[in-house]
Structure 1
Amino acid sequence: MRGRTVLLAGGAALVVASGAAAAVGFGGADASTPPRSALPPATVKVDRGTLIQTETVDGTLGYGDPVAVKGAGGTLTWVPAEGATITRGKPVYKVDDDPVVLLYGAMPLYRPLTADVSGPDVAEVEKNLAALGYQGFTVDDEYTPATADAVERWQEDLGLPETGTVTPGQVVVAPGQIRVATLKLAAGDPANGPVLTWTGTTRIVTVALEVDKQQLVKKGLAATVELPGGDQVAGTVAEVGTVAVVSAETTTIEVVVTVGDQQKLGTLDQAPVDVIIESDKRENVLTVPLNALVALAEGGYGLQVVEGSTTRYVAVETGMFAGGKVEISGDGVAEGMLVGVPK
């Protein structure tokens, strides 16, 4: 509606600037006026292409919301540096000189895993052991003596007591490799409460989108991220929140936009960015510049068609407005047609 309002104002300006065009009437059922000899100052061709409407919203570029890792007692003897990346099987921190290592998965370890235990947490540990190169067991949801043997070999390599049992305090579970965001404790502190926070290693853009604009976005929609310096990078809407957040001023949902080319983001973190969302698209439609439209005495809009040394006016229906162009249709309108525009 905002684009249409602008066009109507522009159309009014054209009427003032081109009084002859505004005075043209079609005389009832005729589709166009008889030819006239007054040529416009410039011309363009009716084009066929794609129009895309966009909406620009505020976003924040960063690593996403941090997740806390809590210690289970003992004394911290080593912690990583802030900003460090930790991968599967590597220590997240050490307690009493024993490493607490990272495993990939979705389910936090909530119980000791030992012989005759079964469940998805068992499958998660076995998948990690296999990914780390340990063999001799079947990856399923059964914790068998063969699984315990593989765990003992893993514990030996880590310098841990070879118990064959995996306890919650020995591992940290995350969806993938992690980036240390903030250290909450230092070496020498008791390992109680939050030890550190982590995020993913890939930067994303989060948008607090007003709920009255949620129809503009859906998962998989293309987006463009404009950085503080003006550079633009391609992005994709990856998540659209379903829980509204109510504040004193507005109600929003969280939208997450991913960026494929992380190098183009430089070293930016927690930076304000603009997110340009493709809210609507029209493909394979006839288009002209907005200033090619003239307001007609009968109402509506038309084009001044140029044919050699003469012109005539053809009524058109308008569709989408985007990027300084407008979608048009109507009898007698064709791709390649020459129409008048102001200089």
Structure 2
Amino acid sequence: MAEPAVPRGWRGLGRCVPAVVLVTVVAVGAVGTAAVARHSSGAPDPHATAAPSVRTAKVTRRDLINSQTVQGQLGFGPVKELKGAGTGTLTKLPSNGTTTGRGKALYRVDDKPVPVFYGDTPFFRDLKKVGVVGNDVTVLRNNLAALGYDVGYEGTAQRSPNQTRAPGSTFTASLVSALKKWQQDMALQPTGELKVGDVLVLPGPVRVSSVKARVGDPVAEDILGYVAPKKVITVPVDAQQVSAIKPGDPVTVMLPGRDVPGTVSAIGDTEQNDSSQPDAGDGSTPKTDVTVLPKRASDVANLDDADVQVEFVSEIHKNVLTVPIGALLALSGGGFAVQRPGGELVRVQTGMFATGLVEISGKGLTAGLDVVVAT
């Protein structure tokens, strides 16, 4: 049975094993013990040679793990810029470290609060005519419903035969009523209309990292920078290896002095070039940012920006027999074997390679068996 290939792109990283070149065995001599001749006087023969020594290892049963360990950066993730919309003058700004909340004001324009909604479509137009359809209407409906308002039946536009998906929700009379009640609760004029700039749409909770604008500036300018609300670890992974990583995968975060659990929360869509690691092609290695979230925020509460290492596990074979890779012998007729100290060859089938070990199986193999290891 042919040796399985070591996973591409994982060689030499973390606990992975580089490809191994094995020498074909033509003949194997048994390890013997040289006889010691003695003179009649009983003195040892000065020409006698000592028995040759061999290095052995035991077959062990264990979990075999294929992984890579990559350096990442602990912090609040990449900074994103926020630009205001609509018209008016900024009259109050948040402070650094402010965390947003759904339906709560982030800043004020013309002394009126500008609340935050969560979604993927900004309010790019005024919503005031019943029957208007769009994904911005869906954002309004979802947020008012999440805040506890009765938005009524969720109307959607009729699709034509050529449409592949609905374009969004419908601005219904029930939604107008819910909007009026929310505006009243926010001490805003209950018009039942939503103008561009009245509400800010963000992808989710964020933390203000910097304030660029000043009170008195027009709102339609760069206002602030924001980051993730919790500390995350940004790990640049080789683009060829990132396919083995999925959101939700458990990882091990190696902090100074201890290891803590974490989870892959996101994988970047774009590749960045790392000029510090030359490649044979364009002189740089493409990287994809993988975002890791510590399982317990308290584990990193006392750490500011710091370099940490993250171990990603790609494959686990549990409770398998293993030997050091140096114990493998390639047979002249094909296949592999291990050698007992007495010279006996035991044919084996190989499995996963990792951590300097190889998974083996075969007749007569048991944990604790001694095998010869190449020196």
Bin for the TM-score computed over the shorter chain: 0.7 to 0.9
2:191 alignment counterpart: 163
Q: What residue number does 2:312 align with?
A: 277
* Structure 2 gap segments, 5+ residues each: 1-10, 35-50, 156-168, 276-282
Matches within 5 A, 1:1-343: 2=12, 25=28, 46-71=59-84, 72-116=86-130, 117-135=132-150, 137-140=152-155, 141-227=169-255, 229-246=256-273, 248=275, 249-259=283-293, 260-289=295-324, 293=327, 302-304=338-340, 314=346, 316=348, 318-330=350-362, 332-339=363-370
**8 A contact 2:89–2:217 mirrored in 1:** yes
The alignment-based identity, stated in percent, is 35
Query: Is 180-189 or 158-167 further displaced after alignment?
Result: 180-189
* Structure 1: 5+ residue stretches without partners: 13-21, 27-32
Q: Can you list the C-alpha shifts for 1:229-267, whole angstroms capped at 9, x where unaligned? A: 143222333444454334655132323233222221224
Taking a change above 3 Å as real, the CA distance of residues 275 and 187 of structure 1, as seen in their structure-2 partners, is same
Cα distance in 1 for partners of 2:204, 2:352 equals 43
**98-107 or 51-60, larger mean C-alpha shift:** 51-60
Per-residue CA distance 1:1-24 (angstroms, 9 max, x = gap): 55656977xx99xxxxxxxxx998
Shift of residue 274, structure 1, vs aligned partner: 1.6
> Alignment RMSD, CA only?
3.8
Taking the aligned partners of 1:298 and 1:215, their CA distance within structure 2 comes to 37
Contact 1:36 1:311 in 2 (8 A): no
Aligned AA for 2:310?
V
CA distance in structure 2 between the aligned counterparts of 1:242 and 1:97, rounded to whole angstroms: 39
User: Conserved in 2, the CA contact under 8 Å of 1:240 and 1:253?
Assistant: no
Q: CA deviation at 1:183?
A: 0.9
CA gap 1:313/1:35 in 2 versus in 1, 3 angstroms: farther
Equivalent pair of 1:66/1:198 in contact (CA under 8 Å) = yes
Aligned-pair distance for 1:182?
Answer: 1.3
Report how many residues are paired. 318
Task: State the one-letter code of the partner of 2:357.
Answer: K
Given that residues 100 and 170 in structure 1 are in contact (C-alpha distance below 8 angstroms), is that contact kept between their aligned partners in structure 2? yes
Q: Secondary structure at the match of 2:221?
A: strand
SS in 1 for 2:133: coil
Amino acid at match of 1:244: E
Helix, strand or coil for the counterpart of 1:277? strand
Find the aligned partners of 2:100 and 2:330 in 1 and give their Cα distance: 68
Deviates more, 1:40-49 or 1:179-188: 40-49
8 Å CA contact 2:26, 2:332 repeated in 1 = no
Deviation at 1:156?
Answer: 1.7
Equivalent residues of 1:239, 1:256 under 8 A apart: yes
Shift in alpha-carbon separation, 1:24–1:220, aligned structure 2, 3 A: farther
Query: Is the Cα–Cα contact under 8 Å of residues 79 and 93 in structure 1 kept in the other structure?
Result: yes
SS of the equivalent of 2:128 reads coil
Change (3 A) 1:156 1:220: closer
Task: Say whether the 8 Å CA contact 1:92–1:100 is kept in structure 2.
Answer: yes
Please give the per-residue CA displacement for 1:70-90, whole angstroms capped at 9, x wherever unaligned. Answer: 223322222222111111010
Secondary structure class of the residue paired with 2:204: coil
Distance 1:262 1:316, change over 3 A: same
CA distance in 2, matches of 1:143, 1:202: 35
- Partner of 2:159 in structure 1? none
Of Structure 1 and Structure 2, the greater helix share is in 1
Is the Cα–Cα contact under 8 Å of residues 236 and 290 in structure 2 kept in the other structure? no
